[in-house]
């Protein structure tokens, strides 16, 4: 990801926004190996990790920004771009694969008119793929936010999406 | 005390919750209250039964009646008929896929009959959020026994004698690993539980954590005592929110009762547990990568030695085991190593939990003694192949494992026999495939996975898997070349020998094992430009069968005008012009168009 993408931040310099981040940082003061939990909680608060947030975390934890960037880009959980209000995770695990996960992803892409890994222009949905949700008994499955939907067919997709629109 | 005449167990695991278990529970509560039965009938939320396919599951005790796919609309009838009048609701019983008989009792289901549920004994039978349920079933007795009656060395010796081997993949003897950490010099030591269950198609660790979290905590505490650690970490993947929630509750309850914390059982032994949430990286299932991730770094493996037993978390001696391994410990201490070693085969002791998925009738968790044949697991417990199709292969061990064809179905399943035939136990994911699965596509699927998850540290894995994937892509797209198979084999050998960590070294396994048993499918793709299973769309032709009524919808939908035919007459596809987009199949109201 290029640097200028992380510049498109809506919360830069907004101290009120940083108040919540500072609360998280206080909680982890002096805790060993705190970087990942801090990034997780910061992302919970802000939805994604902007350049400003990463810089602030670096200053407070005394970790180089480059190192935080390295960690944030290593793990699939972290996002440097704004994301949709509803996060769709389509399982592409083995069990789902042999039960037609490809067609489910295709149906989602067709319905949302975006490709996997991107967000709808109205910021309603972000479409992602995951390796395995561990609900193989219901394959093929997807998760929208914390809800798991199983035994899917491509025809069922519009109805499921409508619930979150 | 109030007299409870019946218990209604509702599975609240991830699978059943997704199928509507919470709505069923709410409806049941309401209905019982309406009928005035809520004082004498108790609803219990349980963990996973491992039979997610048939969820939401409801079991009524004392009879042990097993109801499947219960929906909220079914609740009034269930209450009126079963709980009020004592009559079983026939239509909600499970029907065996082969005999079509309905089975009222839990223990009589073919899915459970051949299983030997030891690690999963409590899953689905106790409320995982109530520590009293675990204690009532004998929980924490093993910890008490170890702390008050055994020396740390005796505990390690007992685990060694049991023959328990690591359930996470490699199968290293657990007692030996404990011994290394026990003997390591250090002022501080750690116990780490690897719950980063990343293998696609494996979910046994998730079910144990969701259904019986205290068993894992107890196993870890016993390990802490044995190796001399007072602190432990559970590294759980963030994709398992329910498991994390239940673990937090369990740790809090154990601390409250003094089963974790300071001076446990007055023995002077202190032990605390913390949860670390993974952040989505498959490679963190590798132990050195996992430790780096706990330390807040990029989760990349490092060369071993030094092994974590000598220099692990923050450079201190660390013992890492998988969830299922820890879950085996309490019973070994309780019932003794001799009892445990009496189960299984000569070199693989105890039971193993397999996650059965894919084209199989009973998807779910099966715990069986080591040494059982694959045929028994797939056909007796798993209920055979969906739709009566022909069995083709089973993939065992996820992206690091291999496939077993029909002729190896009678192989006794244990660590060593699987290695011999080019597969591995791995975490125990079994994905069953039928004649419609293309083995080249399967190998491509796994390689795409390992390629995407490669951490990038070592060149053989980072570059090698990418080049191999490119070759597989061109084979499945019909552009395979003479010599591609040999090139794949050569690259596989090189990656196996030179990659840094276990994940890289085993990444070529799916390719090697499909080549070993299904070489002809690769050849068909390359030389005949044909996919025998009809799965690779670039190599699949479309045709219209006699079901065609001549409505003309397909002809209109075809973007390249490859379909010809008169209204009310059978249509025809010109395979030269067809671009295999699938638009006609989607449009045809009579299912008259087939691939193949």
Number of Cβ within 10 Å of residue B149's Cβ equals 10
Contact (CB<8Å) A93/B296: no
Angle at B540 between CA B536 and CA B542, to 5 degrees: 140
Pairing of strands B6-11, B41-46: parallel
ipTM of the complex: 0.80
CB B428 within 8 A of CB B355: yes
Which of B527, B557, B578 finishes a domain? Answer: B527
Tell me the nearest-neighbour CA distance from B375 into chain A, angstroms: 19
A14 inside 8 A of chain B by CB: no
What is the per-residue burial (b if ≥16 Cβ within 10 Å, else e) of B346-357?
A: eebbbbbbbbbb
β-strand partners of B60: B8, B65
The phi-psi region of residue B571 (left if phi > 0; otherwise alpha if psi is between -120 and 50; otherwise beta) is: beta
Q: Domain span at residue B295?
A: 131-341
Q: Identify which of A49, A98, A12, A70 has the alpha carbon closest to the alpha carbon of residue B456.
A: A70
Distance between first and last Cα of chain B: 67
Same domain, B164 and B252: yes
Number of Cβ within 10 Å of residue B546's Cβ equals 7
Please give chain A's pLDDT, 165 residues, in tens. 444 444 444 444 456 678 889 999 999 988 888 999 999 999 989 989 999 999 999 999 999 999 999 999 999 889 998 889 999 999 988 888 888 898 999 999 999 999 998 999 999 999 999 888 878 888 899 999 888 899 999 999 999 999 998
Same domain, B427 and B447: no
On whether residue B141 sits in a domain, the answer given is yes
CATH label of the domain that carries residue B87: 3.40.30.10
On whether residue B536 sits in a domain, the answer given is no
Same domain, B386 and B509: no
CATH label of the domain that carries residue B165: 3.40.50.11540
Same domain, B471 and B508: yes
Number of domains within chain B: 5
A72 inside 8 A of chain B by CB: no
Contact (CB<8Å) A134/B206: yes
Which of B469, B500, B527 finishes a domain? Answer: B527
Supply the pTM of this predicted model: 0.88
On whether residue B534 sits in a domain, the answer given is no
A44 inside 8 A of chain B by CB: no
Average pLDDT over chain B reads 92
Q: Which of B207, B279, B323 to mutate to test the interface with A (most CBs of A within 10 A)?
A: B279
Contact (CB<8Å) A98/B358: yes
Contact (CB<8Å) A94/B358: yes
Same domain, B212 and B326: yes
Q: Which of A44, A54, A137 to mutate to test the interface with B (most CBs of B within 10 A)?
A: A137
On whether residue B261 sits in a domain, the answer given is yes
CB B367 within 8 A of CB B387: no
Tell me the nearest-neighbour CA distance from B40 into chain A, angstroms: 33
Same domain, B422 and B479: no
Eight-state DSSP code of residue B90: G
Pairing of strands B429-434, B351-358: parallel
Nearest residue of A to residue B365, measured between CA atoms: A137
Nearest residue of B to residue A143, measured between CA atoms: B18
> Closest partner residue to B239 among A78, A130, A139, by Cβ?
A130
Contacts of B198 in chain A (CB under 8 A): 131-132
The per-residue pLDDT for range B69-94, each reduced to its tens digit, is 999 999 999 999 999 898 999 999 99
Least confident of B30-39, B134-143, B204-213, B557-566: B557-566
Same domain, B255 and B171: yes
Q: What are the structural domains, with CATH classification, of chain A?
A: 3-74 (no CATH), 86-162 (3.40.30.10)
Token reading at B413: 């399943």
Rounded-to-integer distance, Cα B175 and Cα B166, Å? 9
Nearest residue of A to residue B435, measured between CA atoms: A98
CA distances to B449, B474, B480, B521 from B484, rounded to whole Å, are 21, 10, 7, 13
The per-residue pLDDT for range B528-551, each reduced to its tens digit, is 888 888 888 788 778 888 889 999
């Amino acid at each position: 990801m290029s640097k200028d993408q992380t510049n498109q931040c809506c919360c830069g310099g907004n101290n009120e926004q940083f108040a919540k981040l500072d609360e998280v940082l206080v909680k982890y003061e002096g805790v060993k190996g705190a970087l990942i939990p801090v990034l997780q909680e910061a992302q919970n608060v802000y939805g994604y990790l902007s350049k400003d947030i990463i810089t602030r975390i670096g200053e407070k934890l005394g970790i180089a920004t480059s190192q935080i960037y390295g960690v944030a880009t290593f793990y699939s959980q972290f996002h440097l771009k704004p994301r949709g209000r509803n996060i769709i995770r389509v399982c592409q695990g083995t069990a789902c694969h042999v039960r037609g996960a490809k067609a489910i992803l295709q149906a989602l892409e067709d319905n949302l008119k975006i490709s996997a890994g991107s967000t709808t222009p109205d910021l309603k949905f972000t479409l992602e793929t995951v390796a395995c949700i561990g609900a193989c008994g219901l394959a093929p499955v997807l998760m929208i936010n914390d809800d798991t939907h199983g035994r899917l067919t491509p025809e069922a997709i519009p109805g499921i999406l409508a619930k979150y629109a | 005390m109030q007299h409870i005449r019946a218990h209604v167990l509702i599975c609240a695991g991830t699978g059943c919750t997704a199928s509507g278990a919470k709505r069923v529970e709410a409806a049941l509560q309401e209905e019982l209250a309406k009928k005035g039965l809520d004082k004498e009938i108790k609803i219990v939320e349980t963990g996973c039964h491992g039979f997610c396919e048939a969820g939401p599951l409801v079991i009524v005790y004392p009879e042990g009646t097993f109801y499947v796919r219960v929906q909220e609309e079914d609740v009034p009838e269930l209450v009126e008929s079963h709980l009020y009048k004592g009559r079983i609701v026939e239509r909600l019983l499970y029907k065996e896929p082969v005999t079509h008989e309905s089975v009222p009792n839990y223990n009589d289901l073919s899915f459970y009959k051949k299983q030997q549920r030891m690690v999963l004994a409590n899953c689905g039978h106790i409320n995982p959020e109530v520590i009293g349920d675990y204690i009532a079933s004998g929980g924490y007795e093993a910890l008490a026994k170890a702390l008050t009656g055994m020396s740390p060395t005796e505990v390690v010796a007992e685990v060694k004698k049991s023959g328990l081997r690591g359930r996470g993949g490699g199968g290293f003897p657990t007692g030996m690993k404990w011994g290394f950490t026990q003997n390591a010099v250090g002022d501080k030591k750690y116990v780490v539980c690897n719950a980063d269950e990343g293998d696609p198609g494996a979910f046994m660790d998730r079910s144990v954590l969701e259904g019986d979290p205290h068993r894992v905590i107890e196993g870890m505490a016993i390990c802490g005592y044995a190796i001399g650690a007072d602190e432990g970490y559970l590294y759980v993947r963030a994709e398992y929110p329910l498991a994390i929630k239940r673990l937090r509750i369990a740790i809090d309850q154990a601390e409250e009762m003094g089963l974790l914390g300071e001076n446990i059982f007055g023995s002077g032994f202190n032990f605390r547990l913390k949860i670390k949430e993974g952040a989505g990286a498959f490679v963190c299932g590798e132990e050195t990568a996992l430790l780096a991730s706990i330390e807040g770094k990029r989760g990349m493996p490092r060369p071993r030695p030094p092994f974590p037993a000598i220099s692990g978390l923050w450079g201190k001696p660390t013992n890492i085991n998988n969830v299922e391994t820890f879950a085996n410990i309490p019973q070994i201490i309780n019932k003794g190593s001799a009892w445990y070693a009496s189960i299984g085969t000569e070199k693989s002791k105890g039971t193993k939990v397999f996650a059965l998925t894919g084209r199989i009738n009973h998807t779910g968790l099966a715990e069986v003694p080591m040494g059982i044949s694959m045929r028994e697991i797939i056909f007796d417990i798993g209920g055979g192949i969906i739709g009566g199709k022909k069995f083709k292969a089973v993939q065992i061990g996820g992206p690091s494992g291999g496939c077993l064809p029909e002729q190896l179905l009678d192989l006794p399943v244990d660590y060593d026999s699987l290695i011999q035939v080019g597969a591995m136990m791995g975490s125990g994911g079994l994905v069953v495939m039928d004649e419609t699965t293309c083995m080249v596509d399967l190998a491509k699927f796994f390689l795409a996975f390992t390629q995407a998850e490669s951490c990038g540290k070592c060149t053989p894995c980072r570059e090698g898997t990418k080049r191999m994937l490119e070759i597989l892509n061109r084979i499945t797209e019909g552009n395979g070349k003479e010599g591609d198979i040999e090139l794949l084999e050569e690259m596989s050998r090189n990656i196996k020998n030179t990659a840094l960590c276990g994940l890289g070294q085993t990444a070529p396994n799916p390719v090697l094992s499909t080549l070993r048993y299904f070489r002809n499918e690769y050849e068909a793709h390359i030389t005949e430009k044909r996919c025998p299973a009809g799965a690779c769309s670039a190599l699949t032709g479309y045709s219209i069968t006699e079901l065609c009524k001549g409505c003309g919808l397909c002809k209109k939908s075809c973007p390249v005008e490859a379909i010809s035919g008169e209204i009310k007459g059978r249509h025809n596809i010109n395979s030269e012009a067809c671009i295999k987009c699938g638009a006609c199949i989607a449009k045809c109201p009579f299912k008259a168009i087939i691939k193949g």
